[in-house]
Amino acid sequence: MSPFSFFKKKDKDIPKFDKNISNKSKSLHRPDDTITTDFALEELKKKENDIIKNRLDKMKNICGEIKQSYRIINNIANNIEMEEIIAEEEKLNPLIKNTKNIIVKSLKRETSNTLEIPKTFEDLIKFKETIVSSINRFGEVTSSHSTVINTFMKKHANHLRSELKKITENSEIIDEFHEDILKNKEAIDECKNKLMDINKKKIEIDNSNTIIESINQTIKEKENENDEKEKEIKQLQALPSYDKSIGYLKEIENLEKEKEILLQNYMEISNQLSKATHKYSYGTSKRTKEIINIIIKEPDKIINDADISPFLEFMNNLKESINTNKIVLKDSAKVVQYCDKLIDTLPKFKHELKEIDSNLKRLKNYTENSVVEEIKKIEDSINENKETIYSESSRREGFSKQKIQEEEKSKQIVSEIEEQLSYILRKRYKITV
């Protein structure tokens, strides 16, 4: 509906603009051409420029008509300005004169806008916005002063009405052209964005391939390295010194078990004295507490003391304290028996423990830097490589899954792009990534 409420005549129907002006049609049945994403982007850019140029060419006359209407309205404003309007009631003359000045000023201000025939889509937006603004302002001034215009400016009213109606009708046609361009641009921009997405996904897939290739190389190197190390182990195992080193290791293993049994037997006795020694420790010297700790908790340290007499002296003192009830225990007689047993055991325990540790030290010196030790180091290196291979294999699996997902997404997007290109360019294309 026209914004110009001073119109007394009913507006004629504005001719409907052909919404098929974009010439959109089904794609032609031609052999598919294989193109790159960059080529597709160039083709879309050309198509967009062609569409805009085509629509702008078709709008030249319409825009020219609007410019002509502006010039005519400006002339009407000049004629109204020069015309002397006198009302029958003299008291109305100042009001009419003031209203006439407002109308003339408003019409001249709007028609003084510089209108350039649009050459670009941006020009069209600016042209359209200027026209819409002018129509609103024309509407405001003609609506506010419709009585004065229809009563005192009759000979100009019809002419002004006609030109404003032309501007409105032409503006509506321009709106439809503008909407048509926007719809085409939207379809083209969507296709462009998908093409750029494909390029990004190609980079991501290429990066995944590069990483997977690097991981494969690392795994292969570690596997080859382990193969060489396995050969090296077999060569070392073939040496005469290998069997000798194995013999030493077996002796060490037997001595370790012997030591474990010796300590276990000792602890079975000393554990029975823990409550008694705990009570005895109240108020004793630091050295006595150290002796108690060694006897009860760390018996293997007994061999560090050259003289065992302080340990035997403590056990006799503990036994006496129990017998004289200085230390009161529920099962004191039984604890005294264990005191005697430990007193008898200590010298032998120290001797056997010292002998075992001496033999262990000697055998370990033999095996230090031996073939077996060298093999162990190689095996440790092999195990480290195996951990790396496992870790890298898991990492490769992650990148492989990611790559497959990206490839599936790419296929889907490519299919969508090919359909859009067929719709926009009216030709079937196959996209190569």
CA distance 317 to 323: 10
pLDDT top residue among 97 and 238: 238
Residue 398 lies in a domain: no
Query: Which two tokens mark 77?
Result: 């404003």
**Average pLDDT estimate for 197-207:** 93
Instruction: Mark whether 196 and 253 lie in a shared domain.
Output: no
Confidence of residue 406 (pLDDT cuts 50, 70, 90): very high
How many domains does the chain fold into? Answer: 2
Instruction: Mark whether 364 and 427 lie in a shared domain.
Output: no
For the segment 116-175, what is each residue's pLDDT rounded down to a tens digit? 899 999 999 999 998 888 888 887 777 666 666 665 567 777 788 888 889 899 999 999
pLDDT of res. 109: 85
Instruction: Mark whether 259 and 117 lie in a shared domain.
Output: no
Contact 106, 141 (CB under 8 A): yes
**pLDDT higher than threshold 90 for residue 2:** no
**pTM, 2 dp:** 0.57
Residue 191 lies in a domain: yes
Beta-bridge partner residues of 34: 430
pLDDT of res. 87: 59
Which residues constitute the domain of residue 313?
A: 230-368
pLDDT of res. 21: 34
Confidence of residue 14 (pLDDT cuts 50, 70, 90): very low
Q: For 238-331, where are the alpha helices, taking DSSP H only? A: 240-270, 274-280, 286-296, 309-323
Instruction: Mark whether 184 and 64 lie in a shared domain.
Output: yes
Domain ends where: 345, 368, 391?
Answer: 368
**pLDDT higher than threshold 90 for residue 24:** no
Q: Among 353, 322, 325, which Cα is nearest to 336's?
A: 322
Average pLDDT of every residue of the chain = 85
Instruction: Mark whether 288 and 195 lie in a shared domain.
Output: no
pLDDT of res. 99: 77
**Average pLDDT estimate for 212-232:** 96
For the segment 44-85, what is each residue's pLDDT rounded down to a tens digit? 999 999 999 999 999 999 999 999 998 998 888 888 777 776
Instruction: Mark whether 189 and 66 lie in a shared domain.
Output: yes
Instruction: Mark whether 169 and 257 lie in a shared domain.
Output: no
Instruction: Mark whether 260 and 330 lie in a shared domain.
Output: yes
Instruction: Mark whether 293 and 358 lie in a shared domain.
Output: yes
pLDDT of res. 155: 73
* Neighbouring C-beta atoms of residue 59, cutoff 10 Å: 21
